[in-house]
């Protein structure tokens, strides 16, 4: 791979718990801290390792909750202190990415920033690298740029990006305008999208000049922008940051960057897309975790857990073992078993989406200590 | 109920582990020590409580392994010392019941003995009481007598007893000869048996005069009989018992009493049967355990375990909880989940018979510590 870019800073928002992966993911062990692929590394670390060849170790920032500071620093021993942005409470992605962008723009005015989820799985890193390099080239031209994933099946689990007219950008032969965003479709529609190669999966990756991103926030959400800028001005002053965070952060509007930036920019013809040809998964639930770890063999039993002691007979699906117990699975198909010291989940791939409902029920029934 | 009988001694062989109920049942916690019905008592204790009104507390013996002595005595605090028969190793039911019969016959020559499994579930105790009283009356006439269960469905899980001609016995209006024993049938045959009221389930209960039982063993297995008698002669002498057990017990032929006594006696017209009209189950596997605890409601989730913390959504089957973990079951039908501190089983009712195979595999793969 090529050298790191000199004007690119990657931002990793590491916020979500991943409730649909309970009891594996939970408040004190969120999804991004787990090794979900058997790589030996957490998803956060894998994300860092993908970005380092692009941004270099000095230009990767993580935005995370105060509670996760120690875990994040343990996963990323090379991260400079100033690149760890701690949230006192979650305020959604516009505030998180916007604040980092504003602070980074004060440090390096012409910087191009890119935001990449901490808990997605990507394979074939050189194709990821190539897509991001094209996105950065496009962003330099003033476009807010996303990387859309070329679908490998007619998924109903993801939102889609419709590619429009091609752009002529030096260093980005695949750049195109985004025509529109489309919500998760039904199967019929998903099949049509899959056949029509101009629909890409929305993986939530946004690359743009920091000042362009902030201008877009200013245009669409002026109050939020003002709060972000005020906080950013205080950020790098040791004495001012704390009081400014206490005063401003809790007042910032909670809104996803998709709505505050991406959709309005698309409507104005200012949003570009680079198709990504790498394998990508957001590992949203145990069904996708099972699929990811069974390498496409439908009758396999995928096993996650370093010390797993599994005895299976005619079983398929996934078993996640975080204990040293012997786990015996007999004649259960597409099963999901997650064995942790204080909670056990048994469900099926088909029911994987319902796990979130159980988490909500646990909150209501006084079992919150296992969440 | 009536007074205890003055000439009846009940023998409870408490030997089997119940491998098809692993990991609930295991070497150090065999099936008979568990409360499988939510009664608050172990199956062994329930067995004692059913027999006490028939035999009185002085005439109930337990034959069990040395390892289970303390547990048995804790369950049955009223059992006289002399009525606990400890096996140094398992030698099958002829040796176990034959030895107890021989010892008891030396103590009370005209005694009628009856053997009853320690780990079956029986409901409607007054009908059990009535069947056994008829069986004792029939045994007094010199018949080896069994109680066969009137089937409530065309089961393929049990052996059958075919009832023959009626017997005229005072105090036993339902007594009949046994025409033959039949192995577990296929479903077609089971349906025919169920329609023909003369087929009863073989519940392994045998009632006879002790001397008649011993004579039958002598006729069919003379060497085994000689060993039993020699051991019985030494049994009640504190100094002689130990050496005699060491010398004789390990040499005794291993053979089920069904083959050494019941079938030959049936062939000679010396085996009688009393139909039992009580609910009976041998709780042979988790499918029958689930059925037993769901009270016939097919879509229920039966829960066993005093401290069970279960959260279920569209789940049916059975969950056995021996830990304090939160167990969440989502959309799993006819599921069997057994959660113990060192082992977890997940299977379905349909696969319940395969549990034994896993236990065998665990032995072979070095996981014996959880058996």
pLDDT in tens, A276-285: 999 999 999 9
- Token readout for B245 is 């057990």
At residue A7, the pLDDT reads 97
Residue B289 lies in a domain: no
Residues in A closer than 8 angstroms to B361, CB to CB, are: 311, 313
pLDDT, tens digit (0-9, with 9 covering 90-100), for B147-185? 999 999 999 989 999 999 999 999 999 999 999 999 999
Question: Is residue A27 pLDDT above 90, yes or no?
Answer: no
Of A342, A351, A365, the CB nearest to B325: A342
A221 within 8 A of A94, measured Cβ to Cβ? yes
Per the prediction, chain A carries an average pLDDT of 94
Span B312-336, average pLDDT: 94
Question: Which of A221, A250, A281 is where one domain is finished?
Answer: A281
pLDDT of A117 strictly over 90: yes
Q: Which residues pair with B343 in a beta bridge?
A: A326
pLDDT at A15 over 90: no
pLDDT in tens, B20-56: 999 999 988 999 999 998 888 999 999 999 999 999 9
Specify whether A133 is located in the same domain as A237. Answer: yes
- Identify any residues that bridge with B275 across adjacent strands, giving them in sequence order: B148
- pLDDT, tens digit, for every residue of A187-224? 999 999 999 999 999 999 999 999 999 999 999 999 99
- What's the average model confidence in pLDDT over B312-337? 94
Based on the fold, state whether residues A17 and A87 are members of the same structural domain: yes
The 10s digit of each residue's pLDDT in A169-187 is 999 999 999 999 999 999 9
* A359 pLDDT above the threshold of 90: no
Residue B246 has what pLDDT?
96
Q: How many residue pairs bridge chain A and chain B with CB atoms within 8 Å of each other?
A: 116
Among B346, B365, B367, most A C-beta atoms within 10 A, so best to mutate, is: B346
In percent, the amount of chain A with pLDDT more than 70 equals: 99
Phi, psi for A41 (deg, rounded to 5):
-125, 155
Per-residue pLDDT, A25:
94
Q: CA of A95, closest CA in chain B: separation in Å?
A: 35
B187 in contact with chain A, both atoms CB, cutoff 8 A = no
- Of A281, A309, A332, the position where a domain reaches its end is A281
Nearest CA in chain B to A323: B342
Beta-carbon contacts of A330 under 8 Å, excluding residues fewer than 6 positions away, are: A312, A313, A314, A315, B345, B346, B347, B348, B351, B354, B355, B358
Given pLDDT bands bounded at 50, 70 and 90, which one contains residue A1?
Answer: low
Asked whether the beta carbons of B158 and B82 are under 8 A apart, the reply is no
Asked if residue B361 and residue B271 are part of one domain, the reply reads no
Mean per-residue pLDDT over chain B, rounded: 94
**A182 and A329: one domain?**
no
- Rounded Cα gap, residues A264 and A260, in angstroms: 7
Does some domain include residue B319?
yes
Q: Is residue B2 part of a domain?
A: no
Sign of CA pseudo-dihedral B339, B344, B349, B353? negative
- Reply yes or no on whether the pLDDT at A358 is more than 90: no
Mark whether B275 and B306 lie in a shared domain: no
The CATH code of the domain that includes A47 is 3.90.550.10
Name the helix (H) or strand (E) containing B94: helix B92-107
Taking a C-beta distance cutoff of 8 angstroms, is the pair A16, A119 a contact? yes
> Same domain, yes or no, for B171 and B315?
no
Say if residue B157 is in the same domain as residue B260.
yes
- ipTM confidence: 0.86
The closest alpha carbon to A344, from A320, A361, A366, belongs to A320
User: Which of A328, A332, A353 best tests the B interface by mutation, with the highest count of B CBs <10 A?
Assistant: A328
Whether residue A291 has pLDDT greater than 70 = yes
Query: Which chain A residues have a beta carbon less than 8 Å from that of B358?
Result: 311, 313, 328, 330
* Residue A335 domain boundaries: 295-370
The two three-digit tokens of residue B18, written as one number: 């119940």
Question: CA nearest B14: which of B103, B116, B100?
Answer: B116
In this structure, the answer to whether residues B119 and B249 fall within a common structural domain is: yes
The answer to the question of residue A341 being in a domain is yes
Structure tokens at A363: 């909150």
Structure confidence at residue B261 (pLDDT): 96
**B205 inside domain:** yes
Provide the shortest C-alpha distance from residue A312 to chain B (in Å): 8
pLDDT confidence bin for A235, thresholds 50/70/90: very high
């Amino acid at each position: 791979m090529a050298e790191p870019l000199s004007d690119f800073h990657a931002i990793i928002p590491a916020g979500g718990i991943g409730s649909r992966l309970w009891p594996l993911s939970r408040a004190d062990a969120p999804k991004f801290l787990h090794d979900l692929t058997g790589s030996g590394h957490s998803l956060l670390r894998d994300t860092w390792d993908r970005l380092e060849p692009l941004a270099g170790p000095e230009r990767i920032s993580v935005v995370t909750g105060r509670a996760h500071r120690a875990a994040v620093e343990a996963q990323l021993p090379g991260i400079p202190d100033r690149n760890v942005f701690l949230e006192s409470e979650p305020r959604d992605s516009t505030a998180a990415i916007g604040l980092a962008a504003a602070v980074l723009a004060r440090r390096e005015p012409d910087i191009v920033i890119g935001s990449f989820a901490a808990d997605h799985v990507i394979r074939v890193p050189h194709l990821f690298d190539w897509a991001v390099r094209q996105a950065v080239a496009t962003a330099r031209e003033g476009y807010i740029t996303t990387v859309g994933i070329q679908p490998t099946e007619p998924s109903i689990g993801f939102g889609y990006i419709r590619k429009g007219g091609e752009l002529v950008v030096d260093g980005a032969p695949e750049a195109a305008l985004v025509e529109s965003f489309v919500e998760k479709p039904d199967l019929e529609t998903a099949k049509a999208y899959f056949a029509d190669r101009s629909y890409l999966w929305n993986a939530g990756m946004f690359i743009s000049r920091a000042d362009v991103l902030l201008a877009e926030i200013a245009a669409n959400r002026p109050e939020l922008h003002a709060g972000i800028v005020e906080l950013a001005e205080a950020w790098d002053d040791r004495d001012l940051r704390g009081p400014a965070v206490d005063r401003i952060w809790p007042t910032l509007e909670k809104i996803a960057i998709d709505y505050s930036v991406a959709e309005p920019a698309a409507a104005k013809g200012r949003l570009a897309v680079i198709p990504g040809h790498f394998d990508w998964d957001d590992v949203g639930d145990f069904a996708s975790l099972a699929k990811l770890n069974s390498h496409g063999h439908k009758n396999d039993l995928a096993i996650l857990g370093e010390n797993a002691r599994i005895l299976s007979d005619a079983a398929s699906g996934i078993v996640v073992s975080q204990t040293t117990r012997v786990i015996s699975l007999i004649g259960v198909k597409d099963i999901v078993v997650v064995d942790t010291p204080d909670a056990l989940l048994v469900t099926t791939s088909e029911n994987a989406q319902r796990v979130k409902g159980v988490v909500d029920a646990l909150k209501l029934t006084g079992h919150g200590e296992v969440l």
